[in-house]
């Protein structure tokens, strides 16, 4: 009887010539999926930039902040529906809680916090049946109108931020800082549209 336990222990431990199989290495993400994800992120970025630019031109920074508060989530939802994949934007210093990071994004935000755009590169992450894409968002000089040092923001911008986003943490950025990321969760079978 005791020998039976020894035999079972040896078999479980891989003894007696039995081999164990190493976990399979994930396949590299398909280029078509990466291309499809990049196209979706470019669509999101372009749609948001066009709408914000128009608002800035017509009504200044408070109009742009109003677009962020009232329209950005709907614009993102349009891109999701059109592209057939989840996309969004997030940051290590959030303004809108609706943009909270997905779990797989958090380690990259932590690592990239406080870095300059030239210190990081786009990332692809294996998510099983999906590929996660992260594309850093640089702070451009015009972005500091609403995301710069709080004491340098126009009084009407500070007031609107306090009313619209009482827990705002998305200020204090300088040109070249990473302000956050655009992210996508792309089905591995996706192809560019």
- Does any domain span residue 157? yes
- Does any domain span residue 22? no
- Does any domain span residue 7? no
- Does any domain span residue 12? no
Residue 192: per-residue pLDDT: 86
- The C-alpha atoms of residue 57 and residue 110 are separated, in whole angstroms, by 34
- Does any domain span residue 103? yes
Residue 24: per-residue pLDDT: 53
pLDDT in tens, the chain (193 residues): 333 333 333 333 343 344 444 445 556 778 999 999 999 999 999 999 999 999 999 999 999 999 999 999 999 999 999 999 999 999 999 999 999 999 999 999 999 999 999 999 999 999 999 999 999 999 999 999 999 999 999 999 999 999 999 999 999 999 999 999 999 999 999 998 8
- The C-alpha atoms of residue 17 and residue 20 are separated, in whole angstroms, by 10
**pTM given for the model:** 0.83
Residue 77: per-residue pLDDT: 97
96: domain range?
Answer: 30-187
- Does any domain span residue 24? no
Structure tokens belonging to residue 141: 């000089």
- The C-alpha atoms of residue 139 and residue 147 are separated, in whole angstroms, by 8
- Does any domain span residue 8? no
- The C-alpha atoms of residue 153 and residue 188 are separated, in whole angstroms, by 43
- Domain count within the chain: 1
- Does any domain span residue 136? yes
């Amino acid at each position: 009887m005791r020998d039976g336990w020894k035999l079972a222990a040896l078999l479980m431990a891989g003894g007696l010539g039995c081999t164990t199989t190493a976990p399979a290495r994930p396949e590299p993400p398909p280029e078509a999926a990466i291309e499809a994800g990049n196209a979706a992120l470019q669509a999101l970025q372009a749609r948001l930039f066009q709408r914000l630019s128009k608002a800035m031109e017509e009504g200044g920074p408070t109009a742009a902040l109003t677009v962020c508060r009232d329209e950005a989530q709907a614009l993102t939802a349009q891109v999701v529906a059109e592209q057939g994949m989840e996309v969004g934007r997030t940051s290590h210093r959030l303004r809108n809680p609706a943009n909270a990071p997905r779990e797989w994004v958090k380690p990259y935000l932590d690592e990239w916090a406080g870095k300059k755009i030239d210190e990081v590169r786009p990332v692809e992450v294996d998510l099983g049946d999906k590929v996660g894409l992260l594309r850093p968002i640089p702070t451009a000089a015009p972005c500091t109108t609403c995301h710069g040092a709080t004491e340098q923001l126009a009084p009407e911008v500070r007031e609107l931020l306090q009313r619209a986003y009482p827990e705002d943490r998305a200020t204090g950025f300088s040109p070249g800082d990473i302000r956050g990321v655009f992210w996508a969760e792309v089905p591995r079978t996706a192809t560019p549209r």
